Structure 1
Amino acid sequence: MLEAVGWQGRRGPRLVAFFGCMYYAGMRPGEVVHLRKDRCVLPADGWGKLNLNGNSPRVGSSWTDNGTSHDPRSLKHRPEKATRPVPIPPELVKLMREHIEQYGTAPDGRLFRTFRNGMVQESGYGVVWAAARAEVFSEEERATPLAKRPYDARHAGISLWLASGVPVAECARRAGHSIAVLLRVYAKCIHGDEDHANQLITERLQRRCTNPQAPDGS
């Protein structure tokens, strides 16, 4: 999907890292719209970090104080001025470094912007996502809910964390969810990979057998 996003006209290449943030960092669209360069740690090698500190969801111009369609605010479910550090893998670091090198930033430091430095709109990135989906999925797949909405990139990323064995509490922290919400939304993912869970338990039991004096041995 990310590769296909880059094939979509003039806007597509500017949105590859945008959708990459949703997938690799589990970010909400409004958090990506709000993201500024000074909140990013992007080393030449290895993992980086995003220190998220705000959210600019689209709410409609009649509902904002400044007449724009986005309403800058604190992170969802977090006190004002709270931050949420999210480690990001080398794949996303690379995408973001390339994006900054090629497109720079808006005057206020935002990484993602329209051609006139405006806020990226759902109507724009939604069209690009739909066009990319049409290119990479078969007719049968397009008839399913698979990657139907851009927000599904976030769901896919968080599901990957859980399926990889990352503790639920850490997944919730990175995603900006409470543990209760994470368990409710991603219950199928958490309970659906029995083979992987069994393998993890088997490996732990084998280590206990070879080292019975370990603190958690019995």
Structure 2
Amino acid sequence: MGGTPTELRRIWDEARRPALSPGSTARRWRSGVYDLRHACLSTWLNAGVSPKQVAEWAGNSVEVLLRTYAKCLVGQDEVSMRRISETLG
């Protein structure tokens, strides 16, 4: 998940050219790299990957990760309660 913003922009531009129609490569797709990053990190967190691991993969601190993505965590109550019950026996 590394790379400078300039490197990521270049890679994104190269990837989208053959994949999208000329009209779809308009400016509105420019934020795509960051949209994809947010979708990826949110998916990992909702899949139950620990915030510590996601933060490491993303190159963020856990504090920054949770400040940004805690609102994306949904539907974890039942899974969390089951894990607690299993741990307590």
User: Do they fold alike, i.e. is TM over 0.5?
Assistant: yes
Q: 1:201 maps to what in 2?
A: 80
List alignment gaps of at least 5 residues for structure 2. Answer: none
**TM-score normalised to the size of structure 1?**
0.31
**Higher fraction of strand:** 1
Q: 1:95 maps to what in 2?
A: none
Residue type of the partner of 1:182? L
Paired residue secondary structure (2:88): coil
**CA 1:183–1:202: 2 relative to 1, 3 Å:** closer
Q: Larger Rg: 1 or 2?
A: 1
Q: 2:88 maps to what in 1?
A: 217
Identity over the aligned pairs, expressed in percent? 32
**Higher fraction of helix:** 2
Asked if structure 1 preserves the Cα contact closer than 8 Å seen for 2:8 and 2:33, the reply is: no
Distance (Å, rounded) in 1 between the aligned partners of 2:50 and 2:8: 34
1:44-101 Cα distance to aligned partner (Å, 9 max, x none): xxxxxxxxxxxx553xxxxxxxxxxxxxxxxxxxxxxxxxxxxxxxxxxxxxxxxxxx
List alignment gaps of at least 5 residues for structure 1. Answer: 1-26, 31-55, 59-119, 136-144, 208-215
Q: 2:20 maps to what in 1?
A: 132
RMSD: 3.6
**Residue 128 (structure 1) shift:** 4.6
Distance (Å, rounded) in 2 between the aligned partners of 1:121 and 1:171: 19
User: Which residue of 42, 45, 61 corresponds with 1:178?
Assistant: 61
Q: 1:46 maps to what in 2?
A: none
User: What is the total number of aligned residue pairs between the two structures?
Assistant: 84
Higher relative contact order, structure no. (Cα contacts within 8 Å, ≥ 6 residues apart): 2
